[in-house]
């Protein structure tokens, strides 16, 4: 015992440490030195044994009290004080009221237990994916579409049992109906018990003696379905709609998965979208830009009349408030922006050219140039 380190020193805690502090320190060190994480490292294996022994004593109130009073002698069975500090750990079931399976489950994500793991419950059905293509206007204002999908459903003949109608399933002889198979393995840490899903019945606990002809005893079939999907107004290209419970059926009454519908939006010939705003390029004549005019402008709601002011320049942008895309899942709409392009006339007649030359002569800049001054 003379070469044994102080248990508090081993865990790196003070003598006044709480149970939670001791447990936290042990978790950290056990993970650091665990043999599975340090294969072939004898020093790490020895460290792991040391911190496990320290935790066994300090996590037990009675043993800790004896250790605080008498030191190592107070917990050494060779001194008649009880304890059993040094001998092989005897499994993981009773260290100071803590379940060591829980501790190692936290560290390694499960798999360690002296009392077995809980049985795997019925699994939720997997999700199903589909796509739908809609127009620009349908995306703006919403619509309803019918799509075709294939999903796994319970067999209608056997209602998902896999047994031929009129027959019953039998208890699995391999697992005795538990759906699990337990095995015990001796390790340097003591006896470890692992629980795995029974391969004979797939975890169901029952086997089919006389299979259902329709589903060949699987209890499930793949079936095509037509599903109506409500497309909300304001949805954009590439976004996804989820329909709860419309995916593949779950096991043994567990919930079905979900259906995820990816939305593809066809581009518009007239409008471009940016967030919830839309833009439109409008071409007007030179005369309309110079003199002003009343024009019809296409919008998502139809054509509206707009007064173009005289002297409008190329590239001028007009804003139509509230004429854009409806906001997704809330009230209000974006705006529409109209950019003006001015068409330069081609193939003019002689009379048109003469009039333009006359206009050009009358429309000389009023300001004087440097040489004029």
Give the tens place of pLDDT for each residue, 190-246: 667 788 888 888 777 888 889 999 999 888 999 999 999 999 999 999 999 999 999
pLDDT at 262 over 50: yes
In percent, the amount of the chain with pLDDT more than 70 equals 83
> Which residues in the chain are classed under CATH 1.10.287.110?
7-108
Q: What pLDDT shows up at residue 372?
A: 56
HEC assignment per residue over the chain:
CCCCCCHHHHHCCCCCCCHHHHHHHHHHHHHHHCHHHCCCCHHHHHHHHHHHHHHHHHCCHHHHHHHHHHHHHHHCHHHCCCCCCCCCCCCCCCECCECHHHHHHHHHCCCCCCCCCCCCCCCCCCCEEEEEEECHHHHHHCEEEEEEEEEEEECCCCCCCCECCCCCCEECCCCCCCCEEEEEEEECCEEEEEEEECCCCCCCCEECCCECCCCCCCCEEEEEEEEEEEECCCCCCCCEEEECCCCCCCCCCCCCCCEEEEEEECCCCCCEEECCEEEEEEEEEHHHHHHCEEEEEEECCEEEEEEECCCCCCCCEEEECCCCCECCCCCCECCEEEEEEEECCCCCCHHHHHHHHHHHHHCCCCCCCCCCC
Pair 23, 54: CB distance under 8 Å: no
Spell out the CATH class of 7-108. Answer: mainly alpha
Q: What pLDDT shows up at residue 286?
A: 87
Cα distance between residue 181 and residue 175, in whole Å? 6
User: Is 143 annotated for ligand binding?
Assistant: no
Q: What pLDDT shows up at residue 90?
A: 37
pLDDT at 89 over 50: no
Q: What pLDDT shows up at residue 357?
A: 84
> Which residues in the chain are classed under CATH 2.60.260.20?
121-153+221-267, 272-362
Mean pLDDT, residues 16-27: 90
Of 8 and 193, the structure prediction assigns the larger pLDDT to 8
Edge-to-edge strands, sheet with 277-285: 272-274, 277-285, 336-343, 317-320
Given pLDDT bands bounded at 50, 70 and 90, which one contains residue 280?
very high
Q: What pLDDT shows up at residue 176?
A: 82
Pair 191, 114: CB distance under 8 Å: yes
- What does the mean pLDDT of the chain come to? 83
Of 291 and 353, the structure prediction assigns the larger pLDDT to 291
Decide which of 2.60.40.10, 3.40.50.300, 3.40.640.10, 2.60.260.20 is the CATH code for 121-153+221-267. 2.60.260.20
Pair 211, 162: CB distance under 8 Å: yes
Q: What pLDDT shows up at residue 87?
A: 40
pLDDT at 316 over 90: yes
Q: What pLDDT shows up at residue 187?
A: 65
Task: Render pLDDT for 126-163 as a digit per residue (tens, 0 to 9).
Answer: 999 999 999 999 999 999 999 999 999 999 998 888 88
- 44: Cβ–Cβ under 8 A, 6 or more apart, which residues? 32, 33, 34, 35, 37, 38
In percent, the amount of the chain with pLDDT more than 90 equals 44
Mean pLDDT, residues 48-57: 88
What predicted TM-score, i.e. pTM, was given to this entire model?
0.58
Mean pLDDT, residues 83-92: 40
pLDDT at 101 over 80: no
Spell out the CATH class of 272-362. Answer: mainly beta
Which range has the top average pLDDT, 43-52, 90-99, 203-212, 305-314? 305-314
Q: What pLDDT shows up at residue 189?
A: 61
Q: What pLDDT shows up at residue 1?
A: 52
């Amino acid at each position: 015992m003379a070469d044994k380190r102080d248990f508090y020193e081993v865990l790196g805690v003070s003598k006044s440490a709480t149970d939670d502090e001791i447990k936290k320190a042990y978790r950290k060190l056990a993970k650091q030195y665990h043999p599975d994480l340090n294969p072939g490292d004898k020093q790490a294996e020895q460290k792991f044994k040391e911190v496990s022994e320290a935790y066994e004593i300090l996590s037990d109130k009675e043993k800790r009290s004896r250790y605080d009073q008498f030191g190592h002698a107070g917990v050494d069975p060779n001194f008649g004080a009880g304890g059993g500090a040094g001998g092989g750990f005897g499994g993981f079931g009773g260290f100071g009221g803590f379940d060591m399976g829980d501790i190692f489950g936290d560290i390694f994500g499960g798999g360690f237990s002296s009392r077995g793991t809980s049985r795997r419950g019925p699994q939720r059905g997997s999700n199903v994916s589909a796509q739908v293509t809609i127009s620009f206007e349908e995306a703006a204002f919403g619509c309803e579409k019918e799509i075709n999908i294939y999903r796994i459903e319970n067999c209608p003949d056997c209602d998902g049992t896999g047994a031929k109608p009129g027959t019953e399933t039998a208890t699995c002889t391999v697992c005795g109906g538990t759906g699990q198979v337990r095995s015990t393995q001796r390790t340097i840490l003591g006896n470890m018990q692992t629980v795995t899903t029974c391969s004979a019945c797939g975890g169901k606990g029952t086997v089919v003696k006389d299979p259902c002809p329709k589903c060949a005893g699987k209890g499930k079939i793949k079936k095509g379905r037509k599903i109506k999907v409500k497309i909300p107004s304001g949805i954009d290209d590439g976004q996804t709609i989820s329909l709860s419970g419309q995916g593949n059926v779950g096991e043994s009454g567990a919930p079905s998965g979900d259906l995820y519908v990816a939305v593809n939006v066809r581009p518009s010939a007239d409008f471009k979208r940016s967030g919830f705003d839309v833009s439109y390029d409008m071409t007007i004549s030179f005369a309309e830009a110079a003199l002003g005019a009343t024009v019809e402008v296409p919008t998502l709601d139809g054509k509206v009349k707009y007064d173009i002011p005289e002297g409008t320049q190329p590239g001028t942008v007009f804003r139509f408030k509230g004429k854009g895309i409806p906001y997704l899942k809330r009230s209000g709409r974006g705006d529409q922006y109209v950019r003006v392009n001015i068409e330069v006339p081609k193939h003019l007649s002689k009379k048109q050219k003469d009039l333009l030359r006359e206009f050009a002569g009358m429309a000389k800049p009023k300001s004087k140039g440097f040489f004029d001054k």
